[in-house]
Amino acid sequence: MQKIFFLCIALFLIHINTAAQNCNFNFRGKVTDFHVDTPIIGASIQLLNLNKFTTSNLDGFFEFKGLCEGKIELEIQHIACETRKITIHLKNNLFKEIFLEHHLEELNEVIVTTNTKTTTTSIEQTIKEDVLENYTDKSLGDALKSISGVSSLNTGSTIVKPMIHGLHSSRVLIINNNVRLFDQEWGDEHAPNFDLNSSNRIDVIKGANTLKYGNDAIGGLILIRGKKYAAKDSVFGKSSISLNSNGFGGNINTEIVKTYSTGYYGKFQTSYKRFGDFRAPNYYLTNTGMENLNASLRFGYNSFEKGFEAYYSLVNNNFGILQLSHIGNVNDLVQAINSSEPRNTEDFSHKIENPKQTILHHLGKIEAYKRFKGFGKLSVQYDFQLNRRKEYDLGRGNRENTPVIDLRLFTTSIQPNLHIDFLPNVKFDIGLLGRFQQNNAVAGTRSRPLIPDYEKIDAAVYSIGNYKIDETTEINAGIRYDYSSIDANKTYLLADWKKYNFDQLFPEFEGEIDNTRIKTNPKFTFHNVSASLNFSKRWKNELTFLINYGLGNRVPNPSELYSDGVHHSNARFEIGYLNIKKEIANKFNLSLERKNDDFGFIISPYYKRINGFIQLIPTGITTTIKGAFPVWEYDQVDAQIFGIDIDINKKINSQLDYLGNISLIKGENITQDIPLIHMPSTNFSNRIVYTNKQWHDLTFSLRNTTVLRQNDYPNYNFNTFNPTTQQEVFVDISSPTPAYSLFDFSASATLKTSHKGSLKLEFNIENILNVSYREYLNRFRFFADELGRNLNIKIKINY
């Protein structure tokens, strides 16, 4: 009886409250395409807190009747649109127009899918997040070598510089979170200062769709992206550890992400890597350890009409340089180059001694965007970078802690971009660039700077258009103008200034003469026009055909203009010349692609004609107070590079897959009718993967990589006088290394630890057969073998 009484009271109170509320309000609305201002048909509109649902009609309108006063939470969805959530306080009858972004490309910026290209007409390949996790203790260059047409220029085993179609350094642009990386990239042994663990996706663009980022991507472009996060209240992260037998070291990485339903998000990531001396199959490689400490921070706000993101990363690298590569005299240098075994080796150590290089790189950016109804999106980005590179040499006595090279490079830029997309089949990007760069050869090294003090100013304007002819055919075209000026202060030996004929070519640069030295102020200005034209055609049988043409210009970098001394990390004497001109490149790329899990392929031939190609070639040996070093000089020739990349994937059955690729490339010095130096040799890879998704996603993989001998190479071998033996000796600095074939094994399984958490265990064996070999594109191939067998264990926790 008492329960019935309280129930009646409750019903009475609810009746009074309902009577007091006005529940006769109507809420009408219209769902509209934000870009082209047209109605969206069939959008679903749900009142989350009232459990009511409707859809928009042929004119985009919808209506809810009989609503009470108060807060209403709406969720609006439509295929190929970004879902929107809106909160409304209903006080009377209301009409509201709701805008959705009805473009799949924009949706893919929010929910990134790994098979989505940057542009439809682009010839590119992507490394997925799950593949990147296999390289947590490796470098960017190591990861990129899994893509056909991408190789690396190595300095030992830890300094790995990516190459695309035989080109590297200033010809390959690296874009980290929409910021072009400037970290003294001109050096062959200057690896990109980037932590692979901070990325979720990497795109390698081999074609000509690069004008937005620069005019000088003659080799290609590496686009490193962060993940976009959904607007919901959540916190998640992952941690991983990697342990290795070779080098007795590994890597620890952790990251945590916090997202909010309001659109705000934040991410913090950090990693630490440490290795001791690595080991070739038969001996330790003395002083090849490394230590890296990295961190990155992202936070921002992402909504439909506006947003911003701030990003900061810190990379702190310490690389040991193989001691065998630094030689005291000509006799030892000749013996080291001509010997198949190192002169001497030492026991394992974690200690990093001279010679070594340390690099500290700061990168920061802030960008914001605003969308305008029926027009497009305006975004503005400001970024800065500070790179401090120090290189240390052997045999400096009480100055062993004083670097012989100490360079501080500051770069800052601002980049507005207007994306116009109000026309149904046409899109435009119009952008500007302003950049200032300052290099400071820090005093106190007691050595002549390899690269002098300079200031560089860049300005650019570009326009890129994309026209969808029909649902299967698109054309993309762009044009870009770049202005560059560089103002340097450099001291030459007076004898060298006259020897290079600079006193006749550049008398306007001359300054004060102090005994045997002359102070100079070289100033250069460059004007460049670049362009691209791209076409894609898709068929219903999943085939796509693409054509890319690009005209690119690259101004000489500071090393090519000003180098004049020992480059210690490379163990050589480098000479640049002020009369070097800009490169002009014409690039042609084709690609026939079939994206299919059962059987897919990519066949991509290419051709590049480069006038004024700048190359660094060996010319002899010189002896300085620091020892004997090969002399390498910059010069210019006309060149052509052509080849083909082929990728194949085949599903053998429901649990077995085959993956393979092959890259063939040929580079020719047209001016001298000889092969180009440092072209990758033909290489191919075959991989068999077994997967059992029903049993903890168990995976086994066996991979074979074969690199053939490079038979097309220029002969820059020379004779030099050996003061120890008092004889002329032959120095073989050009002959390539023999072919080699390596086998790698991988096994992994994933265990569920909670509703959303998991534990992944992975075991890898690299160079299973412990093969002794030398890589043609390793700067230290003259002195030691590559790495022997390595056992690796990885543990990854998602939470």
What are the tens digits of pLDDT across the range 670-680?
999 999 999 99
Quick one: average pLDDT of 506-529?
94
| Domain 2-102 shares a fold with domain 113-118+124-798 | no
Contacts of residue 256, defined as CB under 8 A and 6 or more positions apart, other chains included, come to 235, 236, 237, 267, 268, 269
In angstroms, the Cα distances linking 394 to 92, 174, 183, 348, 573 are 82, 32, 24, 19, 15
What are the tens digits of pLDDT across the range 254-304?
999 999 988 999 999 999 999 999 999 999 999 999 999 999 999 999 987
Instruction: Spell out the domain ranges in the chain.
Output: 2-102, 113-118+124-798
What are the tens digits of pLDDT across the range 732-772?
888 899 999 999 999 999 998 888 889 999 999 999 999 99
> Distance from CA of residue 744 to its chain's centroid?
25
At 754, which helix (H) or strand (E)? none
> Which of these ranges, 171-185, 255-269, 565-579, has the smallest mean pLDDT?
565-579
Does the pLDDT of residue 333 top 90, yes or no? no
142 DSSP 8-state letter: H
Domain 2-102: CATH architecture, name and number where available:
Sandwich (2.60)
Does the pLDDT of residue 114 top 60, yes or no? no
Residue with the two structure tokens 């941690």 = 239
Q: Please tell me the pTM assigned to this model.
A: 0.87
What are the tens digits of pLDDT across the range 458-474?
999 999 999 999 989 99
Whether residue 792 contacts residue 163, with contact meaning beta carbons closer than 8 Å, is answered with: no
Please state, rounded to an integer, the average pLDDT across all residues of the chain. 89
Whether residue 213 contacts residue 222, with contact meaning beta carbons closer than 8 Å, is answered with: no
Rounded distance between C-alpha atoms, residue 142 and residue 787, angstroms: 14
Confidence at 454, pLDDT banded by 50, 70, 90: very high
Q: For the chain, percent helix, then strand, then coil, each to nearest 5?
A: 10, 55, 35
| DSSP E strand stretches across 128-259 | 150-155, 159-164, 172-176, 179-180, 201-205, 220-225, 234-244, 249-259
* Cα dihedral sign, 6-9-15-17: negative
Does the pLDDT of residue 625 top 70, yes or no? no
Whether residue 614 contacts residue 556, with contact meaning beta carbons closer than 8 Å, is answered with: yes
What percent of the chain has a predicted confidence (pLDDT) above 90? Answer: 61
Top CATH class of 113-118+124-798 equals mainly beta
Token pair of 144, please? Answer: 């990129």
In angstroms, the Cα distances linking 215 to 51, 525, 531, 584 are 54, 16, 8, 10
Whether residue 534 contacts residue 492, with contact meaning beta carbons closer than 8 Å, is answered with: no
Rounded distance between C-alpha atoms, residue 170 and residue 695, angstroms: 47
Report DSSP letters for 602-628, one per residue. Answer: EEEEEEEEEEEEEEEEEEEEEEETTEE
pLDDT of residue 238: 94
pLDDT of residue 248: 96
What are the tens digits of pLDDT across the range 602-623?
999 999 999 999 999 988 887 7
Rounded distance between C-alpha atoms, residue 8 and residue 12, angstroms: 6
At 331, which helix (H) or strand (E)? helix 330-338
pLDDT of residue 711: 95
Rounded distance between C-alpha atoms, residue 792 and residue 244, angstroms: 5
Q: What are phi and psi of 693, to 5 degrees?
A: -70, -20
Rounded distance between C-alpha atoms, residue 697 and residue 154, angstroms: 35
Token pair of 43, please? Answer: 């959008």
pLDDT of residue 187: 80
